[in-house]
Amino acid sequence: MSKTEENLATAFAGESQANRKYLAFAEKAESEGQAGLAKLFRVAAEGETVHAINHLKALGGVAETAENLKSAIAGETYEIEKMYPEFISAVEADETPAKLSFTRAEKVEEVHQKLFQEALAKLEAGEIVADGDYYVCSVCGFPSAGEAPEICPICGALKDKFKEV
Ligand SMILES: [Fe+2]
Ligand SMILES: [Fe+2]
């Protein structure tokens, strides 16, 4: 990796994190009745997304869709098989929020992995991947195709916590 490629990777990671952090800050501002501040965070977050995607493209990190699916599957597989198991076994007994966050994410990554694998198989078979309805749990991220379940199978959240994507 050249110095610039390294810098692009670092900038991509930083801008990606800033995007999600600002969205979390916007949610907090909203809950405090600060709609104007919430919007300011969302405006900045949107710009950070533009930066992150530009850095990733300049790095050559966006290929054809079949390759992108393979890259996504590799990322999910790493998280399921190595990253989260190691992180979960390293949490201390009193670190409940961290353990819950890692455990739920790990379970959702298994669903992502399966969805991407099914999509790649269809793409390679020359079939169309249906443009269906999806709902995502706002508590744990679990994706549900077709309609939202009454109760999230991963975190137990009720149907009204699901957002249509
Ligand atoms: Fe995932
Ligand atoms: Fe959930």
pLDDT of residue 32: 98
pLDDT 10s digits, 112-164: 999 999 999 999 999 999 899 999 999 999 999 999 999 999 999 999 999 99
Encode pLDDT of 54-93 as tens digits.
Answer: 999 999 999 999 999 999 999 999 999 999 999 999 999 9
From ligand 1's centre to the CA of 63, what distance in Å? 19
Angle between helical axes of 3-31 and 35-58 (0-180°, round to 10):
160
77 vs 9: CA distance, rounded Å:
21
Q: What is the per-residue pLDDT for 131?
A: 92
Return the pLDDT at 31: 98
In the DSSP assignment, the letter for residue 158 is B
Ligand 2 centroid distance, CA of 25 (Å): 21
- Residue 163 forms beta bridges with which residues? 136
CA dist., res. 59 & res. 5, Å (int): 6
- Phi, psi (deg, nearest 5) at residue 151: -135, 130
Cα(26) to ligand 1 centroid in Å equals 23
**In angstroms, what is the span from residue 100 Cα to ligand 2's centroid?**
12
* Residue-wise pLDDT tens digits, 13-43: 999 999 999 999 999 999 999 999 999 999 9
Do 102 and 88 contact (CB within 8 A), yes or no? yes
pLDDT for res 66: 97
Structure confidence at residue 94 as a pLDDT band (50, 70, 90): very high
Q: What's the gap in Å between 54 CA and the centre of ligand 2?
A: 31
Whose tokens are 């009454």? That residue is 150
From ligand 1's centre to the CA of 32, what distance in Å? Answer: 30
Ligand 1 centroid to Cα of residue 112, in Å, is 5
CA 152–ligand 2 middle distance (angstroms): 5
Amino acid, single-letter form, for residue 158: L
pTM score, whole prediction: 0.92
Q: Which ligand is nearest to the CA of 107?
A: 1
59 within 8 A of 12, measured Cβ to Cβ: yes
Least distant ligand from the CA of 111: 1
CA distances from 141 to 46, 51, 56, 109 (A): 20, 24, 24, 9
Counting ligands in written order, the one closest to the CA of 143 is 2
Residue 160 CA to ligand 2 centre (angstroms) = 11
Q: How far is the CA of 36 from the centre of ligand 1 (A)?
A: 32
Residue pair 103/89 in contact (Cβ under 8 Å)? The answer is no
